[in-house]
Each structure stands twice: as C-alpha cells, then as structure tokens.
A and B are shown apart, each in its own frame.
Chain A
Amino acid sequence: MLKKTLVVVLSLLQGILFAQSFNSKLFSNESGLPDLYVYSSFQDREGFLWSATTKGLVRFDGQVFHKYNARLPEGDFIYSGVDDEKGTLWFGTFAGKILKLNKKTDSLSFHSDTVVGSIDKIILSTDKSSLYFISKGNGIALLQNNKLAPLPFSQIYQVNSSIEIKAGHLLLATPEGLYLADVKQNKFKKIKGADFDIVQLQKINGQQRFLMLINGKGIVEARLDNLLESVSITELPLLSAFKDQGIACFNYNENNNLFYVATRNENLNVVNTFNNTIKTFGTKEYQAIANSIITDKDNNVWISTAGKGLYRFYKEEFDIINLDCPVFSITRDNAQNTYYGTDNGIEITNREGFHENRITKLNNKTLGKVTAIYFDGKNLWVGTENNGLHVINPANSEPVKIEFSAIENLAINSIAGVPNQNLVFVSTNLDGAYIYDSYKLKNHFSVQNSLLHNNVYYSLGCKNKNVYYATHNTAINFSKGDQVYEINLKSDNLVSDFNNFAESKDGLLAIGTDGDGVYFLKDTSITPMAANSKLDSKYCNALTYDKDGNLWIALRYNLYKYFPHNEQLKKIDLGLDNSVMFNINSIYTDKNGEIYFGTNKHVIKIKSGTDEGALPKSYIWQMKMFDTVVPMLPELQLKHRKYDITFEYSSLCLRNSEEIYFRYILEGRDNKWSEPTHSRKAEYFNLDEGEYTFKVMAYNGDGFTSNQVATYSFVIAKPFWKSIWFWLLIVILLATLVYFIVVARTAALVHAKARLEKIVDEKTHDLRLEKELVEAKNQIIEEQNKDITSSITYAKRIQEAILPDKNLSDAIKSQILIYYKPKDIVSGDFYWIAEKNNRFLFAACDCTGHGVPGAFMSMIGTTLLNKIVFDNDESNPDKIIQEMDIEVSKSLRQEDTEVNDGMEAGLCSIDMNSAEIMYSGAKRPLFYYRKSNTGDYVLEEYKADKYPIGGFSDIQDKIFTCTNINGTHGDMAYMFSDGVIDQFNSVNNKRFSTKQLRTLLEEAAKLPIQEQWQLIDRELTAWKGKNKQTDDILLIGIRL
C-alpha cells in the first residue's frame, strides 16, 4: 500500500536550506565611543551596556554613549565590570583598582582594597553574596562583606578564565590545565582529563556542563563528574574548524543555539548548532580581533575589540529558506515538518530546517505545480494547478478518503480551513469554492448558486461563521450556511479582483485586492486602508495578521507591515533584489507567530511580533540649566528666578535605536504631549515659579511603547515676597518694629519722664527753694504789707480822723450826703466840711494818685484847707482854692522838684440862712439840683476852673473864680471826684460817665440823704459788677 500511495521519494537530501540573516554594526569614535580599544562589555540589570575602553568607561543605551570619568592615574583604566544582585555596578582596572558606581550621584568611587595585577574579569558568585576578581597574572581575590581577600591557591597559576561551576567552587582555566578551587575549604586540585592550555570557560545549562576554549584545540564541551575529579570532553566538530585560525574568544547563546567565535585572523564566525550551519563574517561586516563577546537579554551580541571599537550583531527577524525554486504554498504539520508547494511537487524540511523529503507524485500522478497545501491537524491537503486535489497522511503518505466530487481534477487556487471545526475551504479556478466538513463535502458554491464568479482565489472561514470568497469580481461574496450573500464595496474606484483575506483577533477582515490595495470589512462596512497611497503597488499577493495584531502585506515585490493602532505603514527591508516576487496566497503563519512567504525564488520566514522586553524604555539622563549640567537630585527645589532648562533624555533599546522617537511633556508648563520627535532633548526657556514634572516616553519605529514613562519633578520656588513666611515675617517685623518703637518711645518717655522728673525735682527743689525764698520774702512782704497795711490802716485812721464828720452837728450830718469809697485803704479823695461865720463850707477833693500818695496829698489838702479857712480866716471859696494852689506848690516845692502832684477840688460856701452859695472849683464841677415847683429837681451844672490845685501847669497865673448861686432850701448841691464817672462796668467796660451821674443824682435828689446814699451805692456797685474799683470814689452832697 505504501508503495502504491506513496509517491516517490526522490532523495533524502541533507543540505541545509536556511540562510540566516544577521545585522551587524560597528560603533566607533563616530558613534561616540571614546576609544577603539574596548576591553570588555557587560549588560546590567536595567539593560544598559557598559564597555571599558582605554579612554574611559561608557554606558550605552543603544544610541548614546555616556562616558564616566573614573579619575584614574595615567596608564590605568577600567578593564572589566559586573553588576551584583542589588544592581550595584563594580569595575576593575588594569592596575587592580576596584571601583563602584554610585547610582544616585552617577559617579564612580574607589573601593579601599586593590588587587595585585589587572582585574581581567569580575564574576558574581551564584549565591550572589560575593564577587570574584580575576587577575590573569595574579590569581583571584574574593570580595565578601565588602572585604577583599586573595585566594592563595589561585596565585600559583595563571588564570586565563574562571567560572563558578557550583556554589563556592571555581573552575580555573590555566595554561597548565583545569583546576577546581573550593573557596570555602580553601582547597585546590587539578581536574583530570583537561591537561590543556585553556583560554576561556563558559558555563552552559546542565549539571556541571561548560564550554572550554583550548589553545590549539578549539572549543569543546565539557562535563565535570559528580565527584568533581575529572572532566569528560566532547569535541564540537563544527567548531574545530577554527582552531587553526586561532580563536581569540567565543560566546554561546543557548537561546538561539548560536556560537559566536572570533578568530585571530579577524573573522567572526556564527555557528548555529541547531542546524549546524556556519556563517563567517570578515572584511565587510567584521574585521577585528575580539577581546570579549557577550550576548545581551535581547540576543544582541556585543564584541569588544582591540582597536576597532564595539561590534553589535544580531540575527535578523527573517530568514531565507532557499529551495532554489518558486514556492506557491506552505504549511506545517504537528511534527514541525514544513511543506512547500513548488512548481514540481512538494519540498519537505524537518524542524531543524534540513531538507527532509521531496514529493513529486501522489497516487501515481505527477503533482506538477502545487498551488495549495494545507495541514488540517491530521492530514495534508494538496492542491495542484493541473492535477486536482489530494489528501494524504503526512506520516506515511497514505491517501485519505474524502468526497472529491468533481474537484478531483480541478485547478486549485488555495486551501484554507478552521482546524478545530474540521472545516476546509478549497478554492478552485473554474468551479467556485468547496467546503469540506470532516472530509465530507458540505457545500459547493459557484455561479449556479449566486457566487459572483467561479474563479475563487481564496476562501476564509471567519469567527462570525461566515465564509468569505475572494473572486474575480468587484463585490465580495460570503456564505452563511447554504446561502451566498454579496457585499457591494460601493467604491467607484474599485475595479479589480479580490485576492485574499485575513481576519484580525477582533474580527476585522482585511481584504487584499489585485490592483486597489487593502480594504477593511467590519460587519457590512468597508473602508480602504488609510495608508493605501503609501504602498508602492496596489497588487496585494498575500495578507496575514501577526500575533501583535499588525497586518503583513506582501505586494508583488515588497513586503509591508501595517500598524492599525496608529495607521502607520512600514516597508520591510529584506535586502532582496528586484527579481524576487511574492506569490499569490503563498503564505503561512505557524504557532510561534512566524510567517512564511513563498516567492518565485525561495521562502522568506519572518519572526513577527515584538517582545515586550525589547520595547524602548525612556530615561532622562541629564539636565542642564543655562547650558550647565546640574545633578538631578530628588525633590529638587530651585530658588526663584527664571530658568532655561534643557532635559536630555534617551531610550534604553540596544537594537534599532535610531528609529526610536519620543514624546514628552513638562507638566506645569505644557498642556499636552509633544509631537513625536527623534530629538533627544527638550528645551524650556524662562521657566518661572511652579511645580514641574518632566515626562518622556519612547516609541519604537513601529510606534509601540513599553508604556514606561521617565519622570523627573522639580520645583521652582515662589519669589520670597509671595510666600506666606515672607508676609509672616513682615508682620513679625512690623510687630517687632512697633514693639521696639513702643519700647523705644516708652523708654524715651520713661527717660524723658525721669529726666523731667529730675528736672522737675530739680525745679521743684529750686522752686521749693524759691518758694521758700518767696515765702520767706512773702512773709517778709506780708509782714511788710502787714506792717504797711497796718501803717496804712493806721494812716486811714489818721485820715478818717481828720475827716470832718465828727465835728459836724447831727443836723448838718442829716443834710449831708457823703459817699466815700477809697480804692485802697487810704484814699486820695477826701472831703472837707467846716462851719464858720454862719456859713457852711464843704469841699470835695481828688488828689493825684490814690492810696498812700493820695492820702498824703489829702492830708496836705485837709491841712491846707483848715489852715486857710481857720488860720487865715478866709471864707471865699475862690480865695481858699487860690491859696491852696499856692500852698500846695509851696509844700511840694513844685517849682524846684519834679513832684507834679496836685489835686482837683470843688468848694462851696453856703450861707446857712440865705441859702446863698458861693462855689469855686478846680476841675471839679458843682451839680446843683434846684427843687422845682413840681417837686422835681433840675440840675444846674456849674463848671469848675480848668486847672488843678498845685501840680505843673502851663498857665502861669491861675485865677480861680467864684460863682454865687442863690439857692433855695431843699435844693441839693453835689460835688464829686472823677472816680465816680470813671468807674468801668464789667459788661462792656464803659465808664459810668457824667451823663449817668446827672441822671442818678436827679433821682437821688428827691430822696432823703440816707436813701440817696443807698441808691448811689446800689447803682455804682451794680455798674462796677465784678470789676475792680477804678479809682477812689467821693460824692458829697448837701441839701439846702
């Protein structure tokens, strides 16, 4: 049976069909590497690559080399490095110094201990507790608990390389062979079976397995026995090819089974142990002697070279599977064998990529061009251009019975299916589409049952149970159950055929056309791909979604990747020449997401999808203020001013970093994120007070980001005058100021008070003294006044004594009014009354001055009147006055002295019987009130002579006149001093005046003498009020 059904196996070809593509790049001075001598490199836990060069240590993020200054003496430089479990970075120098990176300050500091010789490598122990510092010429030193201790045994031999094969057990590669050091026990022994000059060791997975680079022998695999006594060596024939070239160093990446072997003839060889292929790079891609090779987390290989810089290699995301023939269809079976439909049957490769088989016939039929091939989970469906459809068991090529119907000899365009539903869709060239369910024909759709065209390029069963048919028509057919439906694209421009479909995870159907690009169908809504215009051709030969949801579009000559999330289209550079053309619907996506495209020459296998770890991570690595780098301290507080700040950021992505773009925002200043930019710095000018947070995100060339946001926050302080504390301070200062002013003023007042008190006291004292003095003087004065007053009072008595009223008869007294008010105790006014020869004489005199001088003058006047009247017996008033004038002048010797005193006087002589009156006056008139018949008194006013008695006078010859008046009994005659009329009142300070006196006396004359006195006194007292008495007052009257 096998012979019948099988088909012919032409040969078991063992040739490898893969042609792996590698990307290489050299980083040199132009890239920012400070020196071309790179001694070693390692990747830290964050993902940065650290490289030690002669001119300094650098940290590389994929784009920017950041140099660190270790401040080493000339001739010394960092040689090796490693990061420990805590992420602390340790470095060793050529001269044996140990340095540590302080991540907070981003600066290197020296460890107190040093190693003798160069530190060629640093190894973190497997228990992460200690570090081994390997010096090729001086053994190993152990750093534990921050104390460095050399391992004595290691100094016996030159240690070319070392690995910790298990905790505390170091394998030492020496020129004399392999040694095992038990660090804890401090024991050292030679391992049997490795008596070679061993240059390099690399630990690999598996118990006590490792690789050895042996001088002159190449790279071998070794395994220590359980007793750690001997080693068994397995030759690696493929790698022995380089031993004659001299292997400088190597690195093996178990993730992708790739050995990178650098030889001393400046070649780099990549050996794939999965399929035993070797690819050698020289001259164009690589030309250097390597110092070390490492593989980073993203499978990039970094080669530190002597004098050429730093190389990066990585395997491209696509491989060429070279079958030397066109491939029209592709599928894989459960055993990971891959089937390629060619123009002459089927080519089969095994999982390693080796060519396994070739099928050119089935059921004794030559297959010819295999246009469609599909593995349904059990069996293989094979569709041909001219020889119908075949279904076989891939394990033994036995045919599987299916209901072929007429399809058996039809030209098949494509075969697709839904494996978990046992559905298979066969699209034919001339007879529409066939749907098989569990190998039984379920439906056949053709123009006879509403399919628009019988030439169906592709049929696709979708999640919504619809089966879509790409036909030679401008509308899309789909079937649901037994019915066929039509979707009109309603696009005037769409005139071409449909070639293929691909359904996304969320049910969006991508439609590839033959001349109009790509369209999308959701439910019944069809829209063209926004980026159609960017396609260099509109002929879509194959379509598929990858596991990231991105759409791969194979045009005739180019491959594109479309990113629905940002509607960006990226052309994939495969480095193919123009003669390579993608075949229609020759596409397959395996379980790993790898996509196979069949072309007219070979197969292109693409690793689709993006590893999360490979997405760029942004970080801010430097901040500048006014073009000066400042440390990015946490919780940075800046003093107030306007700042120009530049943030320099980058991304951590060691591959395709040149495609990375950024978006950033300065919260507190910007309202929205920046537009995408490839620039790695953001400048801000005149930043004023406020709280700011700078954020930056990195996106890879496809627009994907790790969503990691690098942030840095800082604060620019408010101006001090806007701060609460400032105002608080102002208040406090004001309060303090007020307080001090108050205190100062109080103190000043107190001081002034004290000073004043002192002054007052002094003045008081002085005053007291003066008071005492004054009091004493007052007392003296008082006593003197008392004496004077007493004297004056006594003089008054004398004056009163000489007044004439005592000598008058009562009858006369009753007829005479005497209103006499001295201003002081004694008076300058005086009156004189005498009876002589039956004549009654009376005089009213007003001496100059008042008080004592007046009194003196009154004494003189009285004395003179008495002398003239009685001694000289003169009765005529004019004579009396004339005589007095003379006598006064004589008495006061006024002709010889300056004494100018004198007196005014009025003198009447009344005949008691006839009532005849003789009047003479010196400046004092006579008011004579004559009683009329009506009883009223009429004033007869007799003027006095106009010169006084005594005193200076311009008149040389004073002649006093005498006026005779015929009086009548009952009439009243008044004479008075000027003190009466000169009295001021207290109301308006007016004189009493002669006028008022005339009126007063007119009233008084009517009254008895006593009442007259009372009236006059009352009126004058009322007139005076509170005023002092102006002058001595004398009013004398006589009733005839």
Chain B
Amino acid sequence: MRTTFLNIAFFLFCSVLMAQEVPSSQENIPYLVTFGLNSEHSWGDDDFSQTIFFMIPKGQTAPIYIRVYDPDTGGELDETNAGWNTKMKYSIYGGKGAYTDKDAQNVNPVGNYKSGVLIDSRVFGSETSTDKKWVTFGPFNPVLGEYVKNMDSYLFKLVIDGLAGDDGNLYKVFLSINPNENVSVEGANAFAFEYSVRLQSVANSVAHVYPFADPDVASFHIKCFDFDNDGQIKLYSSVKNGHLVKTNNDNEWSESKHPIKPEEKNKCLDLQIVKKGDYKNDVVFYITNEYDMPVPFYAAPLGGVPRYKYKISISSSAKAQK
C-alpha cells in the first residue's frame, strides 16, 4: 500500500524532481556519516550502515552513475579516532528484490538487507587519492535496477557498510548521468528509511528531513538517536507549525508521536533540526508509522517543501460595530 501511494506521489511530482544528491542541498545536511564497525554507537551511528535508494524512471535509457564524494575514511573531512583504520564498503544492488524485499525496507541492517543482485562494490580505506573527490560507480544500465511496476521505475540500492575500524566516514552521494560531474537524471529521486547524518557545525543552522506521509498513515513516530540535546527538532507541515519533537542526550534514543492530519497526507512533511551549538554532531533519524513501518525520507520533498498555512480570521472591530 505504501508503495502504491509512493507511486502516486511520484507521478504527481516527478516532473519537478531533479535532485538526486543525498543529502540534498534542500536538506542543509552537509554529509551522511557512517562509522567503522569497531566504533562506539555513542559517536553518532546506531548501526554503522546506511542504505539509500535511487529511483530511475523507466524512460531513462542512458547509463547512470552513482557518485560518492569522499568515499575513503581519511583526510580532512572524516572523523578520526586515533589513526585511520577504517574500511568502508559501498555496494550497489539491482535486480529482483533490491527494493521489494521486506528486509531492504528496514531501518536496521538485519536479515536480507543486501537483497537483490550485487552489481558493483568497492572498498575504501584511508587512501588519499579519493579524499574530497567524487568517485564514480558505473556506468549502470538502468535496467539493472529492480523494476517496480507501481513506481514505474528502476530502483537501485546503495548500501554503505563500515567494515572495520573506528573512524567516522563522512560522505555524500549523487545520482548522475555523467561519470565526471554531477548531472542529475531527469525524473529521478532518492530516498532512505534512516538517516545517519552530520549536522552543520553552525549554531542556529536548520537542517531539513522530508518524511513522506502516505494516505494511510495515522501518525508519525519520530525516533532520534544521539542528538546530544543540541537544539530543537520541530515538525512542520501545512497544518503543523513547528510541533516539537522529543529530543535526547548523548547515546540516547528518543521517540515522539505526531498524528497526521488529512491535509498532510500524500505529501512530505518538514522535520527541521535547529542546531544550538557550533560543534560537530552526528545524529540518526528515522520515522515509523503507527504500525512501526518505516517512513521514507526523500531527498527532494514530494509535493515541495511544506509551508504552514496560517489561519487568518477576519472580524469587524468594535468601533466599526458601533
């Protein structure tokens, strides 16, 4: 059912979808973050794994590329912990089950979360050759992805696993039609069911995450990990004007329930993280519905960035009444 409405929404907004950068510029999140397998969860990663899906419209025949910025764990950008020792594996899956497998649509890397056919995979350590550079995977024939009929798209899955080490890998990815530069695929989009991200190290900066409310969802259960009480998290929509989301401290989970109103359905909501401090902070977010099923975050919000619609009541003044 969820995919059905994803499909509907996709069709509604695909003509304007052009951003396949994850995290996208609209999200104001500088990097995704994945730590090595030997890291502490308290550093900001609950599972040392990240999964991102790319939707390629069926009409796309030219090859696509998945580009990763700074795939290594070393150099200026990444988070070291007493010397670089981390290996990070990037695996791209397509074929049957890459998306439709139940375990693929989970927030945790358990079960057959690497479902589908492994198309390409590379392991990066701390080599400098890729530091702060875009590394290209592909080209991939779009038909190598899993064709999901009710999305009318081929889906690829990028799984980033921290194989070893205790360093933090900061990176971002881009779905491109060019191997050497980031040129988005027309009509494509990207989404994830969980975000492990590095927030901006700027006080009062606002990061956005765009969860999609399908027509059946009754409520969002927003889960947040290791926020370090670094500000506020608020939920916005056309009818929600900054509903506060429960936050947490270091190495803690928090959960808050937010009913979804009919006006919010079939659209993305705007989860805003307003940072308090100017220090680095790596956090994990995911949202489930009332049945504990994960809700996708879209890089480009379906239906556009939601705006709260203020209610304006007009009434005659007392003087006028007189």
Complex-state Cα separation, A138 to B180, whole angstroms: 30
Asked whether, in the complex, the Cβ of B123 is within 8 Å of the Cβ of A75, the reply is no
Contacts of A94 in B (CB 8 A): 95, 117, 144
Q: A160-B121, A216-B129 are known contacts. Are A37 and B146 too (CB-CB below 8 A)?
A: no
Binds A, one of B43-51, B133-141, B274-282: B133-141
Complex-state Cα separation, A266 to B139, whole angstroms: 11
Residue in B63, B117, B121 whose CB lies within 8 Å of A118: B117
Of all chain B residues, which has the CB nearest A138? Answer: B118
Residue in A197, A264, A306 whose CB lies within 8 Å of B140: A306
Whether a CB of chain B sits under 8 angstroms from the CB of A180 is: no
Contacts of A199 in B (CB 8 A): 122
Q: A137-B118, A160-B121 are known contacts. Are A54 and B139 too (CB-CB below 8 A)?
A: no
Asked whether, in the complex, the Cβ of B118 is within 8 Å of the Cβ of A158, the reply is yes
- Name B91-148 residues within 8 Å CB distance of A: 91, 93, 95-96, 114, 117-119, 121-125, 127, 129-130, 135-136, 138-141, 143-144, 146-147
Q: A75-B146, A175-B89 are known contacts. Are A215 and B123 too (CB-CB below 8 A)?
A: yes
Convert B41-59 into 0s and 1s, putting 1 for each residue whose CB lies closer than 8 angstroms to a CB of A.
Answer: 0000000000000000000
Asked whether, in the complex, the Cβ of B123 is within 8 Å of the Cβ of A266, the reply is no
Whether a CB of chain A sits under 8 angstroms from the CB of B30 is: no
- Name the distance in Å between A265's Cβ and chain B's nearest Cβ: 7
Whether a CB of chain A sits under 8 angstroms from the CB of B62 is: yes
Complex-state Cα separation, A94 to B130, whole angstroms: 30
Secondary structure at the A interface, as helix, strand, loop or mixed, is loop
Complex-state Cα separation, A160 to B95, whole angstroms: 18
Q: A74-B147, A137-B114 are known contacts. Are A307 and B141 too (CB-CB below 8 A)?
A: yes
A interface residues, tally (CB under 8 Å): 30
Of all chain A residues, which has the CB nearest B90? Answer: A175
Of all chain B residues, which has the CB nearest A264? Answer: B136
Asked whether, in the complex, the Cβ of B117 is within 8 Å of the Cβ of A264, the reply is no
Complex-state Cα separation, A158 to B144, whole angstroms: 18
Contacts of A509 in B (CB 8 A): none
Whether a CB of chain A sits under 8 angstroms from the CB of B179 is: yes
Whether a CB of chain B sits under 8 angstroms from the CB of A936 is: no
Whether a CB of chain B sits under 8 angstroms from the CB of A106 is: no
Of all chain A residues, which has the CB nearest B72? Answer: A216
Complex-state Cα separation, A264 to B137, whole angstroms: 9
Residue in A75, A246, A264, A265 whose CB lies within 8 Å of B143: A75
Contacts of A306 in B (CB 8 A): 63, 138-141
Q: A75-B96, A75-B146, A118-B118 are known contacts. Are A37 and B179 too (CB-CB below 8 A)?
A: no
Of A75, A197, A215, the most chain B CB neighbours within 10 A belong to: A75
Whether a CB of chain B sits under 8 angstroms from the CB of A853 is: no
Asked whether, in the complex, the Cβ of B129 is within 8 Å of the Cβ of A264, the reply is no
Asked whether, in the complex, the Cβ of B118 is within 8 Å of the Cβ of A37, the reply is no
Contacts of B125 in A (CB 8 A): 216
Residue in A37, A175, A246 whose CB lies within 8 Å of B141: A37
Contacts of A160 in B (CB 8 A): 121
Contacts of A770 in B (CB 8 A): none
Asked whether, in the complex, the Cβ of B143 is within 8 Å of the Cβ of A289, the reply is no
Asked whether, in the complex, the Cβ of B141 is within 8 Å of the Cβ of A264, the reply is no
Contacts of A264 in B (CB 8 A): 136, 179
Contacts of A658 in B (CB 8 A): none
Contacts of A265 in B (CB 8 A): 179-180
Residue in A74, A77, A197, A246 whose CB lies within 8 Å of B123: A197
Contacts of A74 in B (CB 8 A): 147
Complex-state Cα separation, A95 to B147, whole angstroms: 13
Of all chain B residues, which has the CB nearest A96? Answer: B117
- Name B143-187 residues within 8 Å CB distance of A: 143-144, 146-147, 163, 179-180
Asked whether, in the complex, the Cβ of B122 is within 8 Å of the Cβ of A197, the reply is yes
Asked whether, in the complex, the Cβ of B143 is within 8 Å of the Cβ of A54, the reply is yes
Q: A117-B117, A118-B118, A158-B121 are known contacts. Are A266 and B95 too (CB-CB below 8 A)?
A: no
- Name the distance in Å between B147's Cβ and chain A's nearest Cβ: 5
Contacts of B93 in A (CB 8 A): 137
Complex-state Cα separation, A72 to B135, whole angstroms: 34
Convert A109-148 into 0s and 1s, putting 1 for each residue whose CB lies closer than 8 angstroms to a CB of B.
Answer: 0000000011000000000000000011110000000000
Complex-state Cα separation, A243 to B147, whole angstroms: 35
Complex-state Cα separation, A118 to B91, whole angstroms: 14
Contacts of B179 in A (CB 8 A): 264-266, 289
Whether a CB of chain B sits under 8 angstroms from the CB of A176 is: yes
Asked whether, in the complex, the Cβ of A95 is within 8 Å of the Cβ of B96, the reply is yes
Asked whether, in the complex, the Cβ of A117 is within 8 Å of the Cβ of B118, the reply is yes
Of all chain B residues, which has the CB nearest A175? Answer: B123
- Name the distance in Å between A209's Cβ and chain B's nearest Cβ: 25
Complex-state Cα separation, A117 to B122, whole angstroms: 18
Complex-state Cα separation, A265 to B127, whole angstroms: 19
Complex-state Cα separation, A264 to B135, whole angstroms: 10
Complex-state Cα separation, A244 to B133, whole angstroms: 12
Asked whether, in the complex, the Cβ of B141 is within 8 Å of the Cβ of A95, the reply is no
- Name the distance in Å between B46's Cβ and chain A's nearest Cβ: 24
- Name the distance in Å between B251's Cβ and chain A's nearest Cβ: 30
- Name the distance in Å between B36's Cβ and chain A's nearest Cβ: 14
Asked whether, in the complex, the Cβ of A176 is within 8 Å of the Cβ of B117, the reply is no
Q: A75-B95, A137-B114 are known contacts. Are A289 and B139 too (CB-CB below 8 A)?
A: yes
Contacts of A158 in B (CB 8 A): 91, 118, 121
Residue in A37, A95, A175, A176 whose CB lies within 8 Å of B122: A175
Q: A54-B143, A265-B180, A289-B179 are known contacts. Are A307 and B62 too (CB-CB below 8 A)?
A: yes
Complex-state Cα separation, A266 to B147, whole angstroms: 28
Contacts of A135 in B (CB 8 A): 118
- Name the distance in Å between B196's Cβ and chain A's nearest Cβ: 21
Q: A75-B96, A265-B180 are known contacts. Are A307 and B118 too (CB-CB below 8 A)?
A: no
Of B136, B144, B163, the most chain A CB neighbours within 10 A belong to: B144
Complex-state Cα separation, A265 to B133, whole angstroms: 14
Q: A75-B95, A75-B146 are known contacts. Are A37 and B114 too (CB-CB below 8 A)?
A: no
Contacts of B143 in A (CB 8 A): 37, 54, 75, 77
- Name the distance in Å between A216's Cβ and chain B's nearest Cβ: 5
Complex-state Cα separation, A912 to B14, whole angstroms: 177
Complex-state Cα separation, A75 to B118, whole angstroms: 14
Of all chain B residues, which has the CB nearest A37? Answer: B141
Asked whether, in the complex, the Cβ of B122 is within 8 Å of the Cβ of A215, the reply is yes
- Name the distance in Å between A365's Cβ and chain B's nearest Cβ: 57
Complex-state Cα separation, A291 to B284, whole angstroms: 37
Complex-state Cα separation, A889 to B136, whole angstroms: 166
Convert B290-303 into 0s and 1s, putting 1 for each residue whose CB lies closer than 8 angstroms to a CB of A.
Answer: 00000000000000
Of all chain A residues, which has the CB nearest B128? Answer: A216
Complex-state Cα separation, A421 to B125, whole angstroms: 69
Of all chain A residues, which has the CB nearest B129? Answer: A244
- Name the distance in Å between A816's Cβ and chain B's nearest Cβ: 153
Contacts of A75 in B (CB 8 A): 95-96, 143, 146-147
Complex-state Cα separation, A136 to B122, whole angstroms: 12
Complex-state Cα separation, A725 to B310, whole angstroms: 101
- Name A377-414 residues within 8 Å CB distance of B: none
Complex-state Cα separation, A137 to B117, whole angstroms: 7
Contacts of A307 in B (CB 8 A): 62-63, 139, 141
- Name the distance in Å between A52's Cβ and chain B's nearest Cβ: 12
Convert A615-628 into 0s and 1s, putting 1 for each residue whose CB lies closer than 8 angstroms to a CB of B.
Answer: 00000000000000
Asked whether, in the complex, the Cβ of A118 is within 8 Å of the Cβ of B95, the reply is yes
Contacts of B119 in A (CB 8 A): 118, 136
Of all chain A residues, which has the CB nearest B62? Answer: A307
Contacts of B139 in A (CB 8 A): 289, 306-307
Complex-state Cα separation, A137 to B127, whole angstroms: 24
Residue in A37, A138, A175 whose CB lies within 8 Å of B63: A37
A-B contact pairs, 24 of them (CB 8 A): A37-B141, A75-B96, A75-B146, A77-B143, A117-B117, A118-B95, A118-B119, A135-B118, A136-B118, A136-B121, A137-B93, A137-B117, A160-B121, A175-B121, A175-B122, A216-B125, A216-B127, A216-B130, A243-B129, A264-B179, A265-B179, A289-B139, A306-B141, A307-B141
Across the A-B interface, give the 3 residue pairs with the lowest CB-CB distance, nearest first: A137-B118, A175-B123, A307-B63
Please give 4 more A-B residue pairs, beta carbons under 8 A apart, in addition to A75-B143, A117-B117, A176-B163: A75-B95, A136-B121, A243-B129, A307-B62
